[in-house]
């Protein structure tokens, strides 16, 4: 990971750029970083606010050998790597919200958008897009995210280097991605659970056709969230929007 690192001032989205580079023949593990994005993408079709000079926008293009049924685990692996790097580099108590949000005091400091091309029984290519709010202040934030977002600077009151953080993330990603490729799924899931702020909490889950209130119990081998409903039955959630309810 990171043998090729390509840096841009401006891109539409580092995810789209990483995908293009893979198609052009760049190797698995190519990293794209940009100072700003004009069409930063979030999960569930949302946009990702990407002003210049403040935050980290980074994508890693890879060609995983894991079967598509473990696709969610790639995201969990990535968030474990990023959370570990953030805790070490900035010394902030980051917790993970399923599947891939990085929270401090229940406010979001980072997120991951994984995009994949699956053909038959193989993942042809994948792009893991990492967005970390580094030096953004509350004044820099649009009204609609002020209540729910934070940054390393807001947490710690100091500026951080985006490039040093990028290096830490690449190092951790390299380590955790190798474990995934070596099928060490339990190690990854155990670490995810340790870093999780979701397990044991009451959550609201918005699915395409309904809403559930439940307790998050665990994640399974494929990275799905196992929740217990109020009637005592269990459900496995693969996709959807999870809100943590008051502890
Ligand atoms: C989320 O919704 O939480 C995921 C946000 C992911 C944002 C990052 S920024 C770098 C990469 N490029 C994008 O367009 N999105 C991801």
What is the arithmetic mean of pLDDT over 192-207? 92
- Closest-lying ligand 1 atom to the alpha carbon of residue 37: 14
Architecture of the structural domain at 202-244: Roll (2.30)
Out of 3.40.50.10490, 3.40.50.800, 3.30.930.10, 3.40.50.720, the CATH code matching 5-195 is 3.30.930.10
ipTM: 0.99
Give the pLDDT confidence score for residue 247 in this predicted structure: 58
- For ligand 1, atom 16, which residue shows the shortest CA distance? 129
CA distance 45 to 223: 21
Note the pLDDT of residue 161. Answer: 98
User: pLDDT digits over 83-99, tens only?
Assistant: 999 999 999 999 999 98
The residue-averaged pLDDT of 185-209 equals 93
Comparing CA positions, the residue from 60, 81, 64 lying closest to residue 117 is: 64
pLDDT in tens, 99-108: 899 999 999 9
What is the pTM (predicted TM-score) of this model? 0.95
Q: In the chain, what percentage of residues exceed pLDDT 90?
A: 90
The string of DSSP codes covering 27-50 is: PTTEEEEEEEESS-B-GGG-B---
Mean pLDDT of the chain: 95
pLDDT tens readout for residues 60-79: 999 999 999 999 999 999 99
Q: What tens digit of pLDDT does each residue of 3-43 get?
A: 999 999 999 999 999 999 999 999 999 999 999 999 999 99
Angle at 97 between CA 47 and CA 168, to 5 degrees: 80
Domains 5-195 and 202-244 share a fold: no
pLDDT at 79 (0 to 100)? 98
CB 235, CB 205: distance < 8 Å: no
- What is the helix, strand, coil percentage profile of the chain, to 5? 30, 35, 35
Rg (CA), the chain: 17
Contact 84, 166 (CB under 8 A): no
C-alpha–C-alpha distance, residues 56 and 40, integer Å: 12
- 150 φ, ψ to 5°? -145, -175
Domain ranges of the chain: 5-195, 202-244
**Is the CB–ligand 1 distance for residue 51 below 6 Å?**
no
Protein residue closest via CA to atom 7 of ligand 1: 131
């Amino acid at each position: 990971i990171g043998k090729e690192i390509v840096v841009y001032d401006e891109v539409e989205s580092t995810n789209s750029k990483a995908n293009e580079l893979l198609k052009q023949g760049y190797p698995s593990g190519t990293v794209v970083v940009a100072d700003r994005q004009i069409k930063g993408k979030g999960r569930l079709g949302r946009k990702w606010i990407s002003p210049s000079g403040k935050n980290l926008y980074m994508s890693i293009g890879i060609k995983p050998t894991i079967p598509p049924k473990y696709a969610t685990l790639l995201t969990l692996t990535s968030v474990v790597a990023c959370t570990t790097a953030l805790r070490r580099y900035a010394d902030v108590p980051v917790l993970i919200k399923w599947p891939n949000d990085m929270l401090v005091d229940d406010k979001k400091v980072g997120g991951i958008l994984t995009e994949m091309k699956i053909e038959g029984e193989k993942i042809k290519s994948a792009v893991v897009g990492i967005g970390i709010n580094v030096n953004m202040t509350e004044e820099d934030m649009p009204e609609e995210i002020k209540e729910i977002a934070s940054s390393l600077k807001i947490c710690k009151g100091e500026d951080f280097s985006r490039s040093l953080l990028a290096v830490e993330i690449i190092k951790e990603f390299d380590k955790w991605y190798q474990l995934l490729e070596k099928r060490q799924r339990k190690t990854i899931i155990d670490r995810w659970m340790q870093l999780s702020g979701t397990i044991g909490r009451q959550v609201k889950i918005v699915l395409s056709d309904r809403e559930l209130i439940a307790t998050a119990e665990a994640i399974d081998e494929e990275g799905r969230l196992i929740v217990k409903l109020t009637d005592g039955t269990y459900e496995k959630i693969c996709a959807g929007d999870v809100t943590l309810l008051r502890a």
